[in-house]
């Protein structure tokens, strides 16, 4: 019997040195008594020869690389028999190079299972270590500490992971067997310690527990699946685990509550959002032709005016007209006919255009607002002025028409049309008599609305106003003529 | 309404995020923070830092930036017509929370999704900003998964991909009709277009990476190196398993999805009226995952998997591989000492690791039934389907009541 003494639990190099010496002396596994750290020694240890008597006989011992890789992990397996069993496998490998590939061999099965257990434990340590903040160190480096109880002797195996992940904080991981310390430059290991070396709490843990509770879906309770991956042995050092029993216990009640709660009235916000989205969608939609836009305007729900009007009245005229005439909104007759300026105000407009020498058929004629707004008085529908909001909602359609027609001159009739073109209120008296250049280069002429002339009861005043109206139109025509030559 | 504390917000916005099944943190580039001033690492394999009692892994801080939403998808807890409490993180609150969690080793990183506020572009911008702050202001090298909003500007998706490890957009329901009736504001077309854009960009990035003569540095931004994934809700509409599996196959082949997640529709607080609260079809979800594995890793064609379904639905009592084997007894028994790998993969009870071990061992020794017991989880399951040196199933393979050996006994009606 030879006694092979191992000083540390997870020191593969020490085991390898010993095993090499034993093999060189051709000591069979059954003749080695492995004395493990902390043991009293076996019954025979007094009788056995100490390994120091042995001398290297043969120069070289070979084994597959894979065995060294696995061995470095299996040496961490918490079983006193591992040193001996690893030696047995190494011994067998000397005469059977393919042994590791024999997946049904009992030694290989043992090796594979130990390796799996150690790798799993290391993985769980990477996963389940919970740092608590200790304070700030030199150069305001944050300092953290954790207490962890691994199943196997894996602290040294697992610690480099934390170094790669957290090189810029100081940290200590205390375990019963070994303490890992990182100070920014050096990762070193000292003997195991106590749970009391680590702070008892961390303010962030309340947030973490809240998250753990909230991400859990009580309608899918699968306790077995949880325990399979997070065995109870780890729970005592995981702050969130304290809530698990309550979470399980209340799950059924919470699920039932969801069912019994049933359906509540829809949040009224949804309808508001829906209409806003429809608006946005129309906004995003760019029509390619006037016909498409004319088609789409019929389903416009941007403002409530569609609720009572018969139809939306879109502009009409050549698609590349040089002059665009913008009125306020369709009236009673326009609402029925579906065409702009076909009522009394249209009559005044036509006459004035004629006098000013403008061909209405060559112009694109439209309105600032596409739906008829009215009040019912007895059997008549009386025109009502559109609000600024209604004009602004409808502006998008006017812009679409302007984008597609690309007129050189825009002629606005009345204050609503001015607001629709400029996006703000400007008095007509401040604009009349001169051309204004819009940001896209279009020239703007502003004048009154023909309906205004119809409302004037004083005949002399009406004639004066009509004259200025025609003058305004002439001015626009002169600019048109100049553009044409 | 009282002002929400950070904890209140976290409770609301994590609760709102839990119906997204994915929490994966795997499959991205390997990187760490040595020699940098930042923090974080990814080492190939994902890490699950905790498990909730629903058995689901908690790898990432999975939250919504906000659960306000202008969309009204019926199956969703955050739909605009729901009465759930609403909250919103500021980007810097969320960045700090992510870093605080990460430094304590609670998480691998962040999985950020969001309800759509104001507009898809605005929302996507906010999400990208969170990722940008983490990466650029804090040197964060952990995992970031961003849910992309299909309707957002492709330029924003481009930016998202440069900060995130993984991008995903949920297909939600397998059919266009399902989508239009349950998620009126969404369109399958838009979703697939977004997936196509992401795939195109990932492919370009890969081509660049391999063609460069000078290897790019560690920090050369890669586009979504963890690929893209998506999710389908199971059981909210009337779609069959066949429709789900076929859709899945399209998604894997068309857009090189890393994963298609199946999420059993589970009752949500304040449910919509046309989705009566039912128990989530967890077994159905499980069978779909098994089927998914069969066509991705076991060489099954989807039609083969579906050949054992009835009315387009997989058998809930037995797994789809066993169901297929029972329908195709002429393939068996498979001789474990001679059969090629693709036939071994067809044996119910033999997984890919088991097959690997069989192949390794049989080079050295002729396998007996005893050996099979060591190589498989349940030798009882493989018995009717294999031949070993000392075992032949004989008539067992073709036995009429073979299914009964595996299926759970029919449930007895209980007396009240």
B70 and B195 share one domain = yes
- B303 CA to chain A: closest CA distance, Å? 30
Return d(Cα A85, Cα A79) in angstroms, integer.
10
Residues B61 and B185 in one domain: yes
Q: In the structure encoding, which two tokens stand for residue B55, read together?
A: 């058995």
Residue B28 and residue B103 in one domain = yes
In this complex, the residue of B10, B51, B282 whose CB is nearest that of residue A214 is B10
* Percentage of chain A exceeding pLDDT 70: 95
> A129 to chain B: nearest residue by CA?
B105
Shared-domain flag, residues B226 and B369: no
Together in a domain, B102 and B239:
yes
Q: Is A169 an 8 Å CB contact of chain B?
A: yes
pLDDT interval class at B39 (50, 70, 90) = very high
In terms of Cβ atoms closer than 10 Å to its own Cβ (0-12, 13-18, 19+), residue A235 is middle
My answer on whether B43 and B180 are in the same domain is yes
Residue B151 lies in a domain: yes
Shortest alpha-carbon distance between residue B107 and chain A (Å): 8
Distance CA B37, CA B42 (A): 16
Closest C-alpha to B354, from A328, A112, A447, A158: A112
pLDDT band at B55 (very low <50, low <70, confident <90, very high): very high
| Cβ-based contacts of A224 with chain B (< 8 Å) | 55
Residue B212 CB coordination number (10 Å): 10
Q: Does B352 map to a domain?
A: yes
CA distance A423 to A419: 5
Mean pLDDT of chain A: 90
The 10 Å Cβ neighbour count of residue A442 is 17
Q: What is the mean pLDDT of residues B313-322?
A: 95
Q: Please tell me the distance from the alpha carbon of residue A24 to that of residue A6, in angstroms, as a whole number.
A: 18
| Record: contact B49-A264, CB cut-off 8 A | no
The Cα A179–Cα B306 span in angstroms is 55
Give the minimum alpha-carbon distance from B251 to chain A in angstroms, rounded to a whole number.
27
Locate the chain B residue with the closest alpha carbon to A234.
B50
**Residue pair B261/B56 in contact by the 8 Å Cβ criterion:** no
Establish if B33 belongs to a structural domain: yes
B185 Cβ contact partners less than 8 Å away, ≥ 6 residues apart: A277, B70, B71, B72, B73
Omega cis (within 30) before A200: no
Q: Are B145 and B22 in contact (CB under 8 A)?
A: yes
Q: Which tops the pLDDT comparison, B189 or B350?
A: B350
- Say which of A218, A238, A273 has its CB closest to residue B80: A273
Mutation for B interface: A214, A226, A244, most B CBs within 10 A: A214
Whether residue B312 is contained in a domain is answered as: no
For chain A, what is the total number of helices (H) and then of strands (E)?
A: 17, 15
Q: What is the mean pLDDT of residues A398-418?
A: 94
Residue B277 lies in a domain: no
Q: Which two tokens stand for residue A399?
A: 């812009």
Predicted pLDDT at B192: 85
| Interface probe, candidates A220, A237, A275, chain B, greatest B C-beta count within 10 A | A220
Which of B6, B358, B364 is closest, CB to CB, to A98? B364
Q: How far is A255 from chain B (nearest CA, A)?
A: 8
Q: Which of A211, A276, A277 sits opposite B61 (nearest CB)?
A: A211
Is there a single domain that holds both residue B189 and residue B256? yes
Assigned domain for B369 exists: yes
Q: Which of residues 200-239 of A touch B (CB under 8 A)?
A: 202, 204-208, 210-226, 229-230, 238
pLDDT at B53: 96
Residue B255 and residue B368 in one domain: no
pLDDT digits (tens, 9 = 90+) for A107-121: 999 999 999 999 999
Cα distance between residue A142 and residue B102, in whole Å: 13
Name every residue whose Cβ is closer than 8 Å to that of residue A450 and which is 6 or more positions away in sequence: A345, A346, A348, A349, A352, A413, A469
Confidence of residue A433 (pLDDT cuts 50, 70, 90): confident
Q: What is the pTM of this model?
A: 0.78
Using the 3D structure, point to which of B265, B300, B330 is the last residue of a domain: B265
In total, chain B counts a number of residues equal to 416
B62 vs B101: CA distance, rounded Å: 12
What DSSP state is assigned to residue B134?
Answer: I
Show the domain range for B199.
6-210+221-265
Residue A92 · residue A99 · CB < 8 Å? yes
Q: Is residue B322 domain-shared with residue B255, that is, in the same domain?
A: no
Task: Please give the distance of CA B152 from its chain centroid, rounded to a whole number.
Answer: 23
Which comes out higher in pLDDT, residue A354 or B210? Answer: A354
- Number of domains present in the structure of chain B: 2
Task: Report the gap between the CA of A361 and the closest CA in chain B (Å).
Answer: 42
Q: Does the pLDDT value for residue B54 go beyond 60?
A: yes
- How do residues A220-262 score in pLDDT, each as one tens digit? 999 999 999 999 999 999 999 999 999 999 998 988 888 777 6
Contact A230 B19 (CB under 8 A): no
Give the nearest partner residue to A131 out of B53, B105, B361, using CB atoms.
B105
Domain endpoint, select from B198, B231, B265: B265
Kindly state whether residue B416 falls inside one of the protein's structural domains: no
Q: Which residues of A touch B264 (CB under 8 A)?
A: 220
Interface A:B, Cβ pairs < 8 A: 213
Residue B276 pLDDT class (50, 70, 90 cuts): low
C-alpha neighbours within 13 Å on the C-beta side of residue B169: 26
Tokens of A384: 């009502």
> Per-residue pLDDT tens for B227-243?
999 999 998 888 999 99
**What's the CATH number where B163 sits?**
3.20.20.70
The shortest CB-CB distance from A127 to any of B15, B48, B277 is to B48
Check A104 against B38: CB less than 8 A apart: no
Token pair listed for A173: 């991981």
- The residues, any chain, with a CB within 8 Å of residue B395's CB and separated by 6 or more, are none
Distance from CA of B23 to the nearest CA of A (A): 11
Sheet containing A132-136: which strands, arranged edge to edge? A132-136, A142-147, A170-174, A178-182, A187-191
Report if residue B286 sits inside a domain: no
Do B363 and B235 share a domain, yes or no? no
| Among candidates A132, A133, A240 on the partner chain, residue whose Cβ is nearest the Cβ of B50 | A240
Nearest-neighbour CA in chain A from B356: distance (Å):
9
* Shared domain check, B375 and B257: no
Element (H, E) at A344: helix A344-356
Q: Which of A432-441, B18-27, B160-169, B217-226 has the highest mean pLDDT?
A: B160-169
B261 and B333 co-located in one domain: no
pLDDT of B377 over the 90 cut: no
Q: Is the pLDDT of residue B246 over 80?
A: yes
- Higher-pLDDT residue of A117 and A35 is A117
The residues, any chain, with a CB within 8 Å of residue B284's CB and separated by 6 or more, are: B234, B235, B241, B264, B314, B316
Which of helix, strand or coil describes residue B294?
helix
| Contact: A217, B54; criterion CB under 8 Å | yes
């Amino acid at each position: 019997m030879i006694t092979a003494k191992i000083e540390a639990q997870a020191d593969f190099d020490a085991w390898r040195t010993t095993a090499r010496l034993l093999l060189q002396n051709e000591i069979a596994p059954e003749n080695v008594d492995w004395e493990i750290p902390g043991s009293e020694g076996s019954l025979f240890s007094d009788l056995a020869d100490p390994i120091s008597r042995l001398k290297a006989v043969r120069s070289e011992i070979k084994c597959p690389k894979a065995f060294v890789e696995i061995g470095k992990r299996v040496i961490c397996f918490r079983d006193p028999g591992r040193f001996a069993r690893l030696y047995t496998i190494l011994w067998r490998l000397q005469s059977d190079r393919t042994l590791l590939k024999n997946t049904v061999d009992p030694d290989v099965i043992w090796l594979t299972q130990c390796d799996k257990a150690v790798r799993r434990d290391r993985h769980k340590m990477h996963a389940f270590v919970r740092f608590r903040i200790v304070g700030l160190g030199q150069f305001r480096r944050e300092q953290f500490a954790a207490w962890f109880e691994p199943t196997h002797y894996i602290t040294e195996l697992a610690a480099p992971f934390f170094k790669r992940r957290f090189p810029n904080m100081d940290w200590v991981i205390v375990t019963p067997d070994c303490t890992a310390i990182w100070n920014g430059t050096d990762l070193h290991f000292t003997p195991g310690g106590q749970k009391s070396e680590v702070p008892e709490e961390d303010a962030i843990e309340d947030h973490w527990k809240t998250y753990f509770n909230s991400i859990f879906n009580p309608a899918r309770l699968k306790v077995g699946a949880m325990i399979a991956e997070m065995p109870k042995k780890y729970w005592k050092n995981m702050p969130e685990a304290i809530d698990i029993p309550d979470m399980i216990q209340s799950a059924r009640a919470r699920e039932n509550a969801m069912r019994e709660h049933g359906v509540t009235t829809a949040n009224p916000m949804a309808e508001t959002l829906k209409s806003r989205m429809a608006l946005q969608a129309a906004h995003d939609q760019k029509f390619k032709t006037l016909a498409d836009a004319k088609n789409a305007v019929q389903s416009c729900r941007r403002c409530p005016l569609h609720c009572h009007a018969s139809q939306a009245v879109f502009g009409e005229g050549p698609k590349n007209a040089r002059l665009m005439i913008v009125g306020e909104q369709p009236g009673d007759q326009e609402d029925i006919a579906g065409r702009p300026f076909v009522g009394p105000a249209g009559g005044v407009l036509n006459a004035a255009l004629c006098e000013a020498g403008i061909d209405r058929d060559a112009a694109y004629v439209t309105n600032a607002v596409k739906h008829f707004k009215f009040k019912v008085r007895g059997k008549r529908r009386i025109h009502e002025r559109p609000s600024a909001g209604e004009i602004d909602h409808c502006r998008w359609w006017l812009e679409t028409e302007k984008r597609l027609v690309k007129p050189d001159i825009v002629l606005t009739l009345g204050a609503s049309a001015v607001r629709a073109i400029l996006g703000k209120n400007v008095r007509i008296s401040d604009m009349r008599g001169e051309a204004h250049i819009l940001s896209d280069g279009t020239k703007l002429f502003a004048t009154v609305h023909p309906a205004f002339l119809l409302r004037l009861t004083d005949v002399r005043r009406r004639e004066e106003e009509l004259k200025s109206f025609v003058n305004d139109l002439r001015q626009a025509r002169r600019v048109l003529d100049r553009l044409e030559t | 309404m009282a002002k929400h504390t950070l904890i209140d917000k976290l409770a609301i916005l994590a609760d709102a995020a839990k119906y997204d099944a994915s929490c994966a943190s795997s499959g991205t580039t390997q990187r760490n923070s040595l020699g940098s001033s930042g923090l974080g690492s990814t080492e190939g394999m994902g890490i699950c830092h905790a498990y909730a009692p629903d058995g689901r892994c908690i790898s990432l801080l999975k939250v919504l930036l906000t659960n306000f939403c202008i969309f009204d998808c019926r199956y969703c807890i955050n739909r605009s017509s729901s009465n759930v409490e609403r909250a919103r993180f500021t980007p810097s609150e969320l960045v700090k929370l992510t870093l605080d969690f990460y430094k304590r080793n609670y998480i691998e990183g962040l999985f950020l999704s969001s309800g759509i506020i104001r507009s898809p572009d605005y929302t996507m911008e906010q999400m990208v900003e969170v990722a940008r702050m983490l990466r650029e202001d804090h040197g964060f090298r952990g995992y970031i998964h961003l849910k992309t909003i299909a309707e957002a500007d492709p330029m924003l998706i481009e930016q998202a991909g440069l900060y995130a490890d993984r991008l995903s957009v949920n297909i939600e329901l397998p059919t266009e009709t399902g989508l239009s009736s349950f998620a009126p504001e969404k369109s399958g077309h838009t979703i697939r277009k977004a997936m196509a854009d992401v795939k195109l960009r990932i492919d370009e990035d890969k081509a660049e990476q391999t063609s460069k003569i000078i290897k790019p540095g560690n920090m050369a931004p890669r586009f979504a190196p963890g690929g893209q994934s998506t999710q389908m809700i199971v059981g909210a509409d009337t779609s069959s398993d066949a429709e789900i599996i076929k859709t899945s196959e399209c998604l894997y082949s068309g857009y090189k999805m890393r994963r298609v997640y199946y999420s059993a529709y589970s009752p949500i607080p304040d449910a919509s009226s046309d989705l009566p609260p039912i128990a989530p079809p967890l077994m159905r979800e499980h069978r779909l995952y098994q089927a998914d594995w069969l066509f991705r890793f076991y060489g099954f064609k989807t039609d083969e998997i579906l050949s054992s379904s009835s009315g387009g639905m997989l058998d809930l009592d037995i797994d789809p591989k066993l169901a297929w084997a029972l329908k195709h007894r002429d393939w068996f028994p498979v001789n474990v000492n001679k059969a090629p790998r693709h036939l071994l993969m067809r044996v119910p009870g033999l997984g890919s690791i088991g097959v690997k071990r069989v192949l390794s061992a049989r080079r050295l020794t002729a396998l007996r039934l005893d050996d099979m017991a060591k190589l498989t989880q349940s030798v009882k399951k493989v018995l009717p389907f294999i031949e070993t040196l000392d075992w032949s199933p004989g008539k067992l393979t073709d036995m009429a009541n073979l299914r009964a050996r595996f299926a759970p006994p029919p449930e007895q009606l209980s007396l009240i």
